[in-house]
Structures are given as C-alpha cells and as structure tokens.
Amino acid sequence: MVMETRTRLHPLSSKGLPAYPNGWYALAFTAELPPGSVLTRAFMGQDVVLFRTRSGVVSVIDPYCPHLGAHLGYASTVEGETIRCPFHYFCFDVNGVCVSTGYGTKPPPKAVVRAWPVREQNGLILVWYHAEGRVPDWDVPPLDAGGYSPLVWRAWELNSHPQETTENSVDIGHLSIVHHYDDVQMLSDLTCAGPCLTVRYAMFRPAPFAGLVRGTRSQFTIHVYGLGYSLVEVEIPRFNIQARLFVLPTPIDVERITLRIAVSTRIVRRPREVHPLLGLLPAGLTAPLLNRILPGAVLNGLAHDVQQDFEIWQHKVYFSPPILAEGDGPVGRYRYWAKQFYSDPMPPALE
C-alpha cells in the first residue's frame, strides 16, 4: 500500500496521537473576563489574547500587533469596543481589524490580526480550532442556567491529551479500580450523533456526603461534544440533588493540556428534601447556607476523583488497537467516533 506523503496538519504528541483535535475548547470562564479586561492564554502551541469590550462583547485574537509586533496581552487596554496596543496605540476591533492609530492617521489596510471563532455560553468562553482553518460546522448547545448556581471551578496543567482524558467517560473498568466506585451499571448504551456522544451510568460512591451518610448512589448522564467539552448531569436521588459537571481539556502545546473542571448545582428550595434533619431548622436560614456550601462540596468531590487519574494520564501511551477485555466499556466505539476530529488520517500504527 502506498501512503500519500504530505505535511501533517497535526503534529504528533509523545503520547502517539495527533496533538490538536478540531473542535471547541474552553479558554476561560465568563467570570474571569469582566468588561474592559484582557487575558493571555496558551492554546494550540501559541498565545492567544482574550478581551471583553466595555459593552460586554468577547473577542479572541492572535497576540501580536501587525504594526511592529508588540504582544497585545501585555500592557494593552480596552478602549470602548477595541483593544489598544501599548506600543503605538493602534486599536483593533473584535474582528481583529485596526480601526485607528495613535497618530490619528488612516489605519493601514493590512493591519489585521486573526480573530478566532468564539462562543460565550454556559459560563464558559469557548474557542473553535480547526487545522485547516474551517469555520465551525457544529456548536455546543446552550444550557438554561435558571435555577442553577454560578460555576465554581479548578484548573491544572498536565502532560496529557484531550482524547485520553475524555476516554475516561466510556472506560467503565477504571471506575471501580481507580475511583473505587461500587456497583457500576451502564443505564444506556453509548450513542453517537455527529460530534456528540452520550452515555448513562449509575454507581455507588463509598464516601461521606456532608458528614451525614457513608456513601451515595448517583446517576450520571454524560454528553461529550468533541474532545474538549464534556457535560455530566448528575442526580443523587436520595438527597434530591442535581448538578452539572464540566470537564474541559484544552491543548497548550503538543505535550500539555490545561484541564479545567467546573460545577453548578441546582438551587435547593426545600432543605428537608436534602436531609430530614434540615427540616427542623428555618428554611430561610438553611437554604441560603446550603446553596453556598453545596457547589464547593461537589467540586471537591469531583476534583478528588479527577486527580486520581493524573499519574496514569501523564505517564501512559496510546496503544491502537488496544487489547480490550470484557468489562472495559465501549472504548473501541469511542475511539472510532473520535477520529472525526482530526484533519489528518491517523498514523498507520493508530488506525
């Protein structure tokens, strides 16, 4: 068989996977970018600059001013609906077009920086990456935030890859071995619809909940959109608790990712439904307290479980085909689904 020789669009990571899958990735949480602010983030082997205009519009642009190369993420300011370069006060709008200079002269027509496709929804600032520069052909669905708490979050930098971290969503076998869940059950088969993958589980987590019980049984509905965005809807029937968990791996470069996790919990109106003892106290006192505590408690539990995977993720390699066994879960189907997010064909050893 003759293989076509051409420049790869995706560099290979040391894990053995193309480093930069196409799709949507979280670069920040909404609360991190108030009006008039600027952030720099490492993304896909380069810096990008995020800014929010005074009216609240978010833009993500390449970092260097095309005039004389100043980095727009350092010492720049937001002026109205533009970001102003600190070097010569060239101003760029949300589309990356220079609209004024520091001299009051006509902006050079070629003074344009690339503006990345961006969506702000679900408390996240999401940016689209495609190796061939194609415009988005799918989106992450918006969620109704009504009745849910604001997001709380954590983030880590890891030597890993979005496909590897997201694979945990279908790796049933590791749930009991690594995370020590009991009685893990698959409630529905894995389904794939274009860029979306969905699966449902139930399991018993043998850990104290708010110091009240020795463990809890939970149901998880996992929605994966591409390799950079996973939404996990959690139900804990015993306590009438619902939560949304977000798992958001974003490539920094060919070896590293930023892994962000976030939690939002459904606002509790009747504390006695969480635990009968809470009904002995005035709901006007216990409900606000519970709603302050609950998101952080769920986030701590999620962070604990996610960190149990770190050593494995950071030191494993990607074998394809894997030697699978009964009890693994639909890992093979997941990997077939994941191929759609690469512009290059997978390397022969990974087919």
Task: Say whether pLDDT at 7 is over 70.
Answer: no
Span 152-335: which CATH code?
3.90.380.10
Task: Say whether pLDDT at 5 is over 60.
Answer: no
Q: What is the pLDDT of residue 114?
A: 98
Biggest CA–CA distance in the chain, Å, is 75
Task: Give the C-alpha separation, 313 to 317, whole Å.
Answer: 8
350 in helix, strand or coil? helix
Q: What is the mean pLDDT of the chain?
A: 89
In which residue are the tokens 């930098």 written?
A: 157
Contacts of 130 (CB under 8 A, 6+ apart): 22, 136, 343
Show me where the domains of the chain are located.
24-129, 152-335
Question: Smallest Cα–Cα separation from 166: which of 345, 347, 341?
Answer: 341
Fill in the amino acid letter for 121: Q
8 A C-beta contact, residue 187 and residue 200: yes
Task: Give the C-alpha separation, 19 to 98, whole Å.
Answer: 32
> pLDDT per residue over 57-77, tens digit each?
999 999 999 999 999 999 999
Task: Give the C-alpha separation, 144 to 19, whole Å.
Answer: 33
In which residue are the tokens 């060239």 written?
A: 90
Q: Which residue has the higher pLDDT, 287 or 317?
A: 317
Q: What is the pLDDT of residue 267?
A: 77
Task: Say whether pLDDT at 119 is over 60.
Answer: yes
**Radius of gyration over every alpha carbon of the chain, rounded to an integer in angstroms:** 23
Cis peptide before 288 (omega within 30 of 0): no
Task: Give the C-alpha separation, 162 to 224, whole Å.
Answer: 12
Q: Which residue has the higher pLDDT, 344 or 309?
A: 309
Beta bridge partners of 272: none
Query: How many Cβ atoms from other residues are within 10 Å of residue 243's Cβ?
Result: 23
Mean pLDDT of 94-101: 98
pTM of the entire predicted model: 0.91
Task: Say whether pLDDT at 122 is over 90.
Answer: yes
Strand order in the sheet with 91-92: 77-79, 82-84, 91-92, 98-100
Task: Say whether pLDDT at 150 is over 50.
Answer: yes
> pLDDT per residue over 185-219, tens digit each?
999 999 999 999 999 999 997 755 444 455 688 99
Q: What is the pLDDT of residue 303?
A: 96
> pLDDT per residue over 140-149, tens digit each?
999 999 999 9
Write a three-state SS string for 208-244. CECCCECCEEEEEEEEEECCCEEEEEEEEHHHCEEEE
Task: Say whether pLDDT at 182 is over 70.
Answer: yes
Cα–Cα distance list, 294 to 11, 124, 269, 312 (Å): 42, 20, 13, 29
Task: Say whether pLDDT at 113 is over 60.
Answer: yes
Span 24-129: which CATH code?
2.102.10.10
8 A C-beta contact, residue 57 and residue 81: yes
